[in-house]
Amino acid sequence: MKLLAVHPSRLTYSRLFLCLEPLGLELVAQASREAGHKVKLIDLQVESAKDYFRIIKSWRPNAVAFSCNYLANVPEILDLAKATKLNAPDCFIFVGGHSASFIARDLLAHAEGAIDCVLRGEGEAVTPLLLTAVENDRASIGQVPGAITLDIEGPPPVYMQSLDELFPARDLLRKRRKYFMGFMDPCASIEFSRGCPWDCSFCSAWTFYGRKYRLVSPDKAVDDLARIEEPGVFIVDDVAFIQPEHGIAIGEEILKRGIKKKLYLETRGDVLLRNKEVFAFWKRIGLEWIFVGLEAIDENGLKKYRKRTTLDKSFEALEFARSLGIQVAVNIIADHDWDESRFEIVRQWCLESPEIVNISINTPYPGTESWITESGRVTTKDYRLYDINHAVLPTFLPLLRFYEEFVKTQQIMKKSYMGWDALKSLGKTILGNLL
Ligand code: B12
Ligand code: SF4
């Protein structure tokens, strides 16, 4: 079969800061290729809808697979699926990824027949099975784990037994040099582990992966790294180096093979403190940036999000990272009940903090515990607004005041590490969106 794998376009707020390769879709593409299918991949973050329709017309794929990790991409995927069905009614269209997995029925309903199937869970584990069913016997789609169509629901999603089996199909991307992460430009992505043993209320890592935590073997991880040509590498693990031996083993292999990269990773403050020697070692082999999900600068906030850590630990972790000479970025979640004084406290903290601070708005995502407790109160189901830069729950302040405070806080934060030009265009983007 001919499969066209499609990643939707860039998320508004990420335009200035980063653009990352679609690693998950590359794995889906590779699994399909290894199963004997012809595969093309288009990434609309760096190519246009025109390019997409050109491939549909000239190559005539039998199936199109959309990656839908982000709710904000849903309207675009629906539009593309509908237009594709009009042009190529026999083409089998399916969607997978984090968000798609949690809103499968909604997606199918909104698509009005343009999406044939939503494939929940880890795509590389099941896409070859789905393609076989589509090719040979469409009635058997109901036996594919994770598959949902308008009429049938397959068994629950299955997970990859081992993360060592596949290398992402990086070669299928035509514009690799367009991927960047801040100053790491160009930048590739890599995965060393999957899943997370914590259970924060706003996060779906633990619901999507079924609380499984799996590791890529150090050999495979470094083989994969060695294949990457870009000088910068974004390590996509939800929480990097939970197991210190794993981090050290990968690091030693990197050192042994003489691989030199600039690295970025995300982790928790308590993991950073518990495994100090790992992060110090990684600093020596190229770790330049760490993102720590701080989320709150008060104990109540930490409790609310069930971070299972304390404020003291968070601040101690930042201090430790600083002492290593690593650039640290943190995120704070603005809650709907914030008044002017809460925003002001955060702005003051930010001015005193040497870290790069980002602020996002607490957004209940399908698949999270917050969605279960808060979805009854949401003020909109326009998924484009679920981008952590819009309030989708009723705010204590009048909405416009809330946004004014939010934008003011963002500007204070950005001013400390971005040039004025970038800041101006960020302001324009945000204001344009708010309008
Ligand atoms: C890099 C990243 C980003 C980048 C985007 C980069 C890009 N171009 O994709 C940026 C920084 C922009 C970003 C932003 C956000 N992100 Co983000 N991000 C990630 C991260 C760290 C890595 C993604 C990745 O490469 N994973 C590795 C690959 C192998 O996995 P994957 O992409 O999920 O693909 C697998 C499956 O999803 C599935 N799949 C994917 N595509 C397809 C397609 C088909 C057809 C099929 C069948 C299956 C399938 O199979 C793949 C292989 O198993 C993940 C966490 C993680 N570890 O995955 C979070 C994650 C995806 N992000 C998440 C969230 C919530 C966000 C934000 C909303 C806020 C935030 N927490 O940062 C914003 C979105 C803002 C917006 N406007 O909507 C959540 C998604 C949860 C959900 N229910 O939607 C995750 C899981 C983090 C988390 N633990 O909560 N993110
Ligand atoms: S926010 Fe981080 S620590 Fe919490 S559950 Fe999600 S991935 Fe795990």
The CA distance from 339 to 202, in Å, is 21
Q: At residue 98, what is the residue type?
A: H
The CA distance from 265 to 290, in Å, is 5
- Report the pocket of ligand 1 as residue ranges, CB < 6 Å: 11, 13-14, 18, 20, 22-25, 27-28, 45, 65, 67, 69-70, 72, 94-99, 102, 119, 122-124, 127, 189, 191, 203-205, 236-238, 365, 367, 387-388
Which residues in the chain land under pLDDT 50?
A: 419-420, 423
Ligand 1 closest atom vs CA 45: 8
Closest CA to 21 of 213, 191, 257, 219: 191
Question: Would you state the pLDDT for residue 393?
Answer: 96
What contacts 106, CB < 8 A, 6 or more positions away? Answer: none
Q: Residue 51: exposed, middle, or buried by beta-carbon count in 10 A (0-12, 13-18, 19+)?
A: middle
Q: How far apart are the first and last CA of the chain?
A: 45
| Max CA distance (Å), the chain | 63
CB contact at 8 A, 94 and 105: no
Report CA(315)–ligand 2 centroid distance (Å): 18
Q: Which residue's CA lies nearest to atom 7 of ligand 1?
A: 20
The CA distance from 298 to 189, in Å, is 33
**Which-ligand-closest: CA of 307?**
2
Report CA(20)–ligand 1 centroid distance (Å): 11
Q: Which residue's CA lies nearest to atom 29 of ligand 1?
A: 24
Report CA(389)–ligand 2 centroid distance (Å): 20
Phi and psi, residue 396, nearest 5°: -65, -45
The CA distance from 248 to 42, in Å, is 36
